[in-house]
Amino acid sequence: KFCFWKELSTSIMAALETVPKDLRHMRACLLCSLVKTIDQFEYDGCDNCDSYLQMKGNREMVYDCTSSSFDGIIAMMSPEDSWVSKWQRISNFKPGIYAVSVTGRLPPGIVRELKSRGVIYKSRDTAIKS
């Protein structure tokens, strides 16, 4: 019983670390739509995509791989149980705050690198079909 609560508490604390610390300077990842502040992306990288995008410690990559222009937000705590996370194609991602639509595209060089690693890039911009 205690182990369950400890694990639950740890996962809640980890999810809270992802929540934007400030309502200014928020950006959304162009690959997964996770929303954080620019400083959080630079300090921690993207919780879902950093093994591919390597934003941690690289502000230039943060600017290339995120957008300050996004619409709507979803607070997702249980991705595997949420119909909204399935609808948004984020059910395999970490708990956090996600944009409904993200304006912009990853640079072509990054898209090529993703493709070479077997990652299919689909734009998170719902205004355009990709």
Give the DSSP letter of residue 34: B
- Each of the 130 residues of the chain gets a pLDDT tens digit; together they read 445 555 555 555 555 566 666 667 899 999 999 999 999 999 999 999 999 999 999 999 999 999 999 999 998 888 788 888 888 888 889 999 999 999 999 999 999 999 999 999 999 898 865 5
Return the ∠ at Cα 68 (arms to 59 and 25), rounded to 5°. Answer: 70
One-letter amino acid identity for 58? N
Q: Under CATH, what is the fold of the domain 2-116?
A: Herpes Virus-1 (3.30.40)
Distance CA 124, CA 128 (A): 9
Token pair recorded at residue 119: 């990652």
Alpha carbon distances (Å) from 110 to 1, 31, 52, 107, 115: 45, 10, 9, 5, 9
Alpha carbon distances (Å) from 112 to 47, 107, 117, 126: 21, 9, 9, 22
pLDDT at 85: 83
Question: Over the range 96-117, which residues count as b (16 or more CB within 10 Å of their CB) and which as e?
Answer: bbbbbbbbbbbeeebbeebeee
